[in-house]
Amino acid sequence: MTIDYQRLRFDYRRAAEQAAGAAMRVHPVVVVGAGPVGLATAIDLAQRGIDVVLVDDDDSLSSGSRAICFSKRSLDIFDRLGCGEAMVEKGVRWHVGKVFLKDELVYSFDLLPESGHCRPAFINLQQYYVEGFLIERARQLRNLDIRWKNKVVGIERDDDASDGMASVTLAIETPDGEYALQARYVVAADGSRSPLRRLLGLESHGRTFKDRFLIADIKMEADFPTERWFWFDPPFHPNQSVLLHRQPDNVWRIDFQLGWDADPVLEKTPERVIPRVRALLGPDVAFEIEWVSVYTFSCLRMDSFRHGNVLFAGDAAHGVSPFGARGANSGVQDAENLAWKLEMVLAGRAPDRLLDSYAREREYAADENILNSTRSTDFITPKSAVSRVFRDAVLTLARRYDFARRLVNSGRLSVPAVLRDSTLNTPDRDRFDGGLVPGAVCVDAPVLRDGEPDWLLAHLGGRFTVLSFAAASGIDPNERAAIDRARSMGVPIDVVVIEPHASLEASRAPRGLALADGVAAIGGKRLIDAEGRVAERYDALPGTAYLLRPDQHVCARWRRMQPADIADALARALGRSA
């Protein structure tokens, strides 16, 4: 039997704190908001062995499909959280986008033009499924306590506790009345209207766009291809834009630009929605309306994502227009950036200031997302007469000339920010080509493990990882010394050794044995570079090594290792050295 995720309700239970005479407990982390970002944060923390309380003011999943485009990066993160497969299985894969002017195709793009990645560029999946799969995973984690119908109505920060342990106390309203919930750290993932932000008297700043859009999710049998179709000025909706996207269960998302003067209440009525949809589909296509919403949007963010021991993530911290799918996807990246840092700080392995780097890195990423989103919005919704003239001139030229197609902006779709200037990075000492600079997110590639096809990303992340490209002679003694020294710092480090494919044949030869012994001595995992893609994508030569963060970002890389290199880079990546 299939689960109707839209109708799921979760049981409220009295919390331990509500029992008479219950002792006050300081939880390591309380996460506020059981949307995709809060769930991802809570699961990640729980997988790291941290006891987490997740509170939500409601008892159901997302109403309506809302965020529907989940990027490759989000899927890679969901894989690590143990629910990527369910999402990909249910989701609709796509990678091609098409842009039409009137009824003519002017531009087409492929978001993942190269093969050799486990996950597709994007899947479309209703937000309630994403949340549903995350909750199914969350329920397997015994140290993750989800409390439904627990609404935050007050917050008190104790930033200078006498014992040096700053904490936060939340006032929680439940059907059984109020109780106090205390935590070392609070993650505010409570959405764009963030009650926590308001309770702390904080604001998000930015631009609100004077335009209205209608979302109509309709159910129909249709033979449109599984692509993102965007029209400027189509004959069926003149002078405005329209976006068509496929979701699972034969549901299609249609996004109609309405203009600022549209009446948001009237436009939601079937009398107005049905003719608009029929104009697109033609008179003979049968359809049902699943969900309708009229929205405006803003590009904004909080000045700082960290306020003492309260850390803001997702829409609570930043907002973008929907055209780049940069809302939920960037929020999931916030979660992944934050979880390992909280773990390190709570375990005493990193100073508290490592959490400042969460704020700085994700503020930088938010600025990049806001920039891209604002540019798309300015193209789709020109703000002035001259802006409109240039937009139309681009579209006119795009019908015939390739150069102008590059200027057509119907949304620049979410890719993870390269945290190039992060203080956690160790600048390159050696020369490298390619995009995997310190601060970049690792890219996937096919590998063989014990002779079976596998994917590189499945073996990176979770912990700090040394990705080592083996020389035929075995593991370099300097590298071995560097790994030993880094391991003495009290932080678990995985080692993944990439061997060139040819060594499959040579593995019986003496130097293959030397390599095997060397890998075993450093506690490494051996992967074979099945198609040479790993070395290619990481611009690796024999002896090249990378140090990767638990969130799969590159910290440092070397052509030839010195014994102190990994320890120094690790100290930086933990915020131990400035």
Partner 1 sequence: MTLNLRPNLARPDDFYEALIDMHRDLSDAQSQSANAQLILLLANHIGDHATLLEAMRIAREGVVGPGSAP
Work out how close the CB of 106 gets to partner 1 at its nearest, in angstroms, rounded to a whole number: 14
Rounded CA separation 578/573 (Å): 10
Figure out which of the listed residues 59, 233, 368, 392 binds partner 1, where binding follows CB under 8 A: 392
Work out how close the CB of 261 gets to partner 1 at its nearest, in angstroms, rounded to a whole number: 21
Figure out which of the listed residues 140, 396, 473, 577 binds partner 1, where binding follows CB under 8 A: 396
3-state secondary structure of 326: coil
Based on CB atoms, which residue is closest to partner 1, 274 or 397? Answer: 397
Contacts of 173 by beta carbon, 8 Å cutoff, 6+ apart? 150, 151, 152, 153
Contact 223, 188 (CB under 8 A): no
Assigned token pair, 19: 């029992």
The set of long-range contacts for 535-539, using a CB threshold of 8 Å and a minimum separation of 24, is 535/469, 535/498, 535/500, 536/445, 537/434, 537/436, 537/443, 537/445, 538/434, 538/436, 538/467, 538/469, 539/432, 539/433, 539/434, 539/436
Segment near partner 1 (CB under 8 A); pick from 126-134, 145-153, 394-402, 516-524: 394-402
Based on CB atoms, which residue is closest to partner 1, 53 or 394? Answer: 394
Nearest alpha carbon to residue 60 among 138, 7, 14: 7
Based on CB atoms, which residue is closest to partner 1, 63 or 396? Answer: 396
Based on CB atoms, which residue is closest to partner 1, 221 or 402? Answer: 402
Figure out which of the listed residues 166, 171, 347, 404 binds partner 1, where binding follows CB under 8 A: 404
394 interacts with partner 1 by CB under 8 A: yes
Compute the 3-state secondary structure of the chain and give helix, strand, coil in percent, each to the nearest 5. Answer: 30, 25, 40
101 interacts with partner 1 by CB under 8 A: no
Q: What is the DSSP letter of 541?
A: -
Task: Annotate 522-537 with DSSP letters as a single string.
Answer: TTEEEEEETTSHHHHH
Work out how close the CB of 377 gets to partner 1 at its nearest, in angstroms, rounded to a whole number: 20
The residue written with tokens 């130097």 in the block is 511
233 interacts with partner 1 by CB under 8 A: no
Work out how close the CB of 543 gets to partner 1 at its nearest, in angstroms, rounded to a whole number: 38
Nearest alpha carbon to residue 27 among 187, 163, 136, 174: 187
* CA angle (535, 539, 541) in 5-degree steps: 70
Figure out which of the listed residues 407, 481, 489, 504 binds partner 1, where binding follows CB under 8 A: 407
408 interacts with partner 1 by CB under 8 A: no
Segment near partner 1 (CB under 8 A); pick from 198-206, 399-407, 495-503, 527-535: 399-407
Number of residues counted as binding partner 1 (CB under 8 A): 11
* Pairing between β-strand 26-32 and β-strand 52-55 as defined by DSSP bridges: parallel
Nearest alpha carbon to residue 74 among 410, 438, 551: 551
397 interacts with partner 1 by CB under 8 A: yes
Based on CB atoms, which residue is closest to partner 1, 402 or 450? Answer: 402
Work out how close the CB of 421 gets to partner 1 at its nearest, in angstroms, rounded to a whole number: 21
Based on CB atoms, which residue is closest to partner 1, 403 or 508? Answer: 403
Rounded CA separation 569/575 (Å): 10
403 interacts with partner 1 by CB under 8 A: yes
Rounded CA separation 339/332 (Å): 11
400 interacts with partner 1 by CB under 8 A: no
Strand partners, 233: none
Based on CB atoms, which residue is closest to partner 1, 397 or 506? Answer: 397
Based on CB atoms, which residue is closest to partner 1, 59 or 233? Answer: 233
Based on CB atoms, which residue is closest to partner 1, 400 or 431? Answer: 400
Rounded CA separation 422/179 (Å): 40
Work out how close the CB of 163 gets to partner 1 at its nearest, in angstroms, rounded to a whole number: 55
Based on CB atoms, which residue is closest to partner 1, 197 or 405? Answer: 405
Based on CB atoms, which residue is closest to partner 1, 171 or 407? Answer: 407
Segment near partner 1 (CB under 8 A); pick from 32-40, 302-310, 385-393, 486-494: 385-393
Classify each residue of 154-168 as buried b or exposed e, where b means 16 or more C-beta atoms within 10 Å of its C-beta: ebeeeeeeeeeeebb
In the chain, the amino acid numbered 227 is E
Contact 563, 482 (CB under 8 A): yes
In the chain, the amino acid numbered 503 is S
Work out how close the CB of 415 gets to partner 1 at its nearest, in angstroms, rounded to a whole number: 21
Nearest alpha carbon to residue 189 among 52, 13, 354: 52
Restricting to residues 430-459, which ones interact with partner 1 according to CB under 8 A? none
Work out how close the CB of 258 gets to partner 1 at its nearest, in angstroms, rounded to a whole number: 24
The mark string for 341-380 relative to partner 1 (x by CB under 8 A, - otherwise) is ----------------------------------------
Work out how close the CB of 393 gets to partner 1 at its nearest, in angstroms, rounded to a whole number: 4
Rg (CA), the chain: 25
Assigned token pair, 10: 């979760």
Contact set with partner 1 (CB under 8 A): 386, 389-390, 392-394, 396-397, 403-404, 407
